[in-house]
């Protein structure tokens, strides 16, 4: 089958643990710290499990909600959580043709410590044996967060893209991929139709504390055709190699419930609309809306919108919800 988008990356079950009554926030000049009393038995307010999440799964579900033929290439263990993830993906109309169970392995399971609308995530990526199947057929590949034992797999992706020039790549790197370093990732960035990350990730990758405009230009100069760098409440800065676009946030319709998955919603919405044939600037208008919607619910997928719902929000957008074009 020919797919519109195949996402590639690890999948997990998130256990959301609300710790509002057990923790306190300590603010410092450069960061905030979530603090507990050492050695205490700590009460938690609530615990909720959400299967089939993670960057690749969130993106696959987002694309499916937006009407694309979506699949995910991932690995799970031969356990209950792995089967639960597969079943959940199928319910979301995401193809599991490229999901493989590995015997003797545990599926990924993360703990999300939720404090207000913010979260700290305890992660552990199992080391699975990723391979590219011979029947991979998609207009877009969407590569994102994956375990650190996958350097050779990344090289295989580059080789695949070299042989399939028409396939477009979206690259939203995860923590372990960023730690591979710029020189290792250069060929993937050069081949990217869209590269997207947040400002802190871009600084880490490029090893410089530059402003967001310089970061975008650096990544364009490396070879990515389109670059988007998000900057929290400041929105995002994007480029199509000839222009810069200053993208605002879409105002919250209510106080956020949980910010998990907001970045995945933003990135995947851009990819979905590019895959639908929309111009880059048009796709950028939709992304902040889906990101805002996700924060209104617990978990990364419940708030993901359909194309029709995004159109309604865009039609009713505030008058100042405008993308500003800047010369590169």
Is residue 117 over pLDDT 90? no
Quick one: tokens of 262?
């907001």
Q: What is the pLDDT of residue 1?
A: 83
Is the separation of the CB atoms in 267 and 236 below 8 Å? Answer: no
Is the separation of the CB atoms in 256 and 299 below 8 Å? Answer: no
Under CATH, what is the fold of the domain 3-11+53-107+126-327?
3.40.1190
Domain boundaries, the chain: 3-11+53-107+126-327
- Of 180, 212, 181, 207, residue with least CA distance to 197: 212
- What is the three-state SS of the chain? CCEEEEEECCCEEEEEEECCCCCEEEECCCCEEEECCCCCCCCCCEEEEEEEECHHHHHHHHHHHCCCCEEEEEEEECCHHHHHHHHHHHHCCCEEEEEEEECCCCCEEEEEEEECCEEEEECCCCCCCCCCCCCCCEEEEEECCCCCCCHHHHHHHHHHHHHCCCCEEEECCCHHHHHHCHHHHHHHHHCEEEEEEEHHHHHHHHCCCCCHHHHHHHHHHHCCCCEEEECHHHCEEEECCCEEEEECCCCCCCCCCCCCCHHHHHHHHHHHHHHCCCCHHHHHHHHHHHHHHHCCCCCCCCCCCCHHHHHHHHHCCCCCCCCEEEEC
User: How far is the C-alpha of 54 from the C-alpha of 108, rounded, in Å?
Assistant: 10
Q: What is the pLDDT of residue 119?
A: 82
Give 131-154 pLDDT, tens digit per residue.
999 999 999 999 999 999 999 999
Is the separation of the CB atoms in 240 and 226 below 8 Å? Answer: yes
Is residue 167 over pLDDT 80? yes
Is residue 30 over pLDDT 80? no
Q: Measured in Å, how far apart are the chain's first and last C-alpha atoms?
A: 40
Is residue 29 over pLDDT 80? no
Q: What is the pLDDT of residue 105?
A: 95
Is residue 28 over pLDDT 90? no
How much of the chain exceeds pLDDT 70, in percent?
100
Q: What is the pLDDT of residue 231?
A: 96
The Cα-based distances of 62 to 53, 121, 215, 264, 287 in angstroms read 11, 21, 27, 9, 11
Give 234-292 pLDDT, tens digit per residue.
999 999 999 999 999 999 999 998 888 899 999 999 999 999 999 999 999 999 999 99
**pTM of the predicted structure, to 2 decimals:** 0.93
User: How far is the C-alpha of 236 from the C-alpha of 107, rounded, in Å?
Assistant: 34
Is residue 109 over pLDDT 90? yes
User: How far is the C-alpha of 268 from the C-alpha of 246, rounded, in Å?
Assistant: 18
- Of 244, 210, 205, 237, residue with least CA distance to 222: 205
Give 171-221 pLDDT, tens digit per residue.
999 999 999 999 999 999 999 999 999 999 999 999 999 999 999 999 999
Q: What is the mean pLDDT of the chain?
A: 95
Is residue 123 over pLDDT 90? no
Is residue 328 over pLDDT 80? no
Q: What is the pLDDT of residue 40?
A: 86
Q: How confident is the model at residue 96 (pLDDT cuts 50, 70, 90)?
A: very high
Beta bridge pairs of residue 138: 3
């Amino acid at each position: 089958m020919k797919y519109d988008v195949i996402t590639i990356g690890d999948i997990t079950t998130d256990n959301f643990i609300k710790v509002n009554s057990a923790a306190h926030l300590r603010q410092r000049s450069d960061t905030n710290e979530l603090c507990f009393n050492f050695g205490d038995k700590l009460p938690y307010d609530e615990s909720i499990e959400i299967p089939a999440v993670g960057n690749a799964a969130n993106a696959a579900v987002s694309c499916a909600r937006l009407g694309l033929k979506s699949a995910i290439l991932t690995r799970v263990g031969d356990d209950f959580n792995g089967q639960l993830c597969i079943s959940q993906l199928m319910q979301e109309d995401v193809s599991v043709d490229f999901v493989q169970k590995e015997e003797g392995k545990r599926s990924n399971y993360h703990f999300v410590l939720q404090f207000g609308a913010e979260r700290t995530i305890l992660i552990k990526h199992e080391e699975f044996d990723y391979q590219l199947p011979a029947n991979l057929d998609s207009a877009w590949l969407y590569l994102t967060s994956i375990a650190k034992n996958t350097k050779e797999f990344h090289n295989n992706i580059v080789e695949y893209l070299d042989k399939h020039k028409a396939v477009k790549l979206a690259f939203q790197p995860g923590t372990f991929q960023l730690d591979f370093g710029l020189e290792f990732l250069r060929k993937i960035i050069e081949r990217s139709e869209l590269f997207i990350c947040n400002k802190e990730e871009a600084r880490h990758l490029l090893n410089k504390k530059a402003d967001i405009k310089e970061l975008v230009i650096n990544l364009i100069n490396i070879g990515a055709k389109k670059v988007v760098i998000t900057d929290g409440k400041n929105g995002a800065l994007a480029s199509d190699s000839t222009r810069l676009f200053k993208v605002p946030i879409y105002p919250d319709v209510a106080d956020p419930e949980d910010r998990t998955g907001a970045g995945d919603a933003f990135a995947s919405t851009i990819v979905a609309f590019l895959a639908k044939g929309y111009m880059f600037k048009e796709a950028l208008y939709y992304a902040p809306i889906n990101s805002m919607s996700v924060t209104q619910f617990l978990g990364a997928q419940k708030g993901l919108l359909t194309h029709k719902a995004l159109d309604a929000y865009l039609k009713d957008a505030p008058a100042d919800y405008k993308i500003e074009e800047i010369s590169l």
